[in-house]
Amino acid sequence: MDIINVDFELFNYDKDIDFHGVKTLLRQLFDADAQLLDLSGLSDMIIEQNTIGSTCKVDDKANDAYAFLTVLNAWEHREKKPVAQLIEYLSDKAVKASGDLAVLPDLFTSGKAQVGIVLSERLINMPAEVIPPMWNMMIEEIADAVDDKEPYEFTHYLVVSRGYVEVESSLDQEEQKRKRQRDEKGLQYFHPEDEEMRKHAVGSGTYTFTKEGDSADSKRAFQELGVKSQGFMMLIEAGKFKTAVKAIGDYIGAAN
């Protein structure tokens, strides 16, 4: 087997390069519900605040992002359509989520709480090792921004992610004939670091995508093979966020 060495590099957002790459990853993050959100508007906002967060690329800055990470201030941007839409969507999902996220709508509407919406996604085959440096760099950027009196002094971070559960495969005809059913297993993580970060959350939970039944043929085939995607959120208090980021770095290092 040939081994190919690939060098990943982190870059600040570039308005002339990153729009389509970020939008594609946002579409992956929100899965079937991507059509409910203004992904173009969100992409523009992410790229405009180019001192917070980063993209991860191979070979050259001019290429599309393989991964991205950012945080948006929900209160600061609450009247802008892309974020207002996102807040409404996440609030609705928080109330219906399997976990303990019911407090989220009140946090969004309270001027005393400052919620940072963390958006992060990467191509499925990306190695997890590239992720801790992105988080560490963002923490440093947030600290610098707070020193400069910019609106990044959060009370909470809401990390938006995805997971999946294993369900009965609709392609297993013999199992169907015998009418054997199996229970859904627990949540599995597309991002392995989510399992560790969740331990530091004050609330977390999964939710079903609203437009799940409207998925493209490829996604329906994915479900037919026994895998069902779900939305996943974690609410982390600001005082625990740095510890959570350190923990995922240790976790990923220990796992490899």
> Per-residue DSSP letters for 155-167?
SEEEEEEEEEEE-
pLDDT in tens, the chain (256 residues): 555 566 889 999 999 999 999 999 999 999 999 999 999 999 999 999 999 999 999 988 999 999 999 999 999 999 999 999 999 999 999 998 877 899 999 999 988 899 999 999 999 888 899 999 999 999 999 999 999 999 999 999 999 999 988 776 554 545 544 433 333 358 889 999 999 999 999 999 999 999 876 655 445 545 555 678 899 999 999 999 999 999 999 999 755 5
Q: Which two tokens stand for residue 104?
A: 């989220």
- pLDDT (0 to 100) of residue 72: 98
All residues at 6 or more sequence positions from 138 whose CB lies less than 8 Å from its CB, including other chains: 52, 53, 54, 69, 70, 71
Helix axes 39-48, 81-96, angle to 10 degrees: 110
pTM: 0.88
- pLDDT (0 to 100) of residue 181: 38
Closest of 57, 27, 52 to residue 162, by C-alpha? 27
- pLDDT (0 to 100) of residue 245: 97
Q: Which residues pair with 202 in a beta bridge?
A: none
Burial 214-232 (b: 16+ CB within 10 A, else e): ebeeebeeebeebebbbbb
**Helices (DSSP H) in 114-183: which residue ranges?**
131-147, 173-177
Distance between CA atoms of 118 and 184, rounded to whole angstroms?
Answer: 28
Q: Which two tokens stand for residue 59?
A: 């070979």
- pLDDT (0 to 100) of residue 96: 87
Distance between CA atoms of 157 and 51, rounded to whole angstroms?
Answer: 18
Distance between CA atoms of 46 and 143, rounded to whole angstroms?
Answer: 18
- pLDDT (0 to 100) of residue 190: 92
- pLDDT (0 to 100) of residue 255: 54
Distance between CA atoms of 130 and 196, rounded to whole angstroms?
Answer: 16
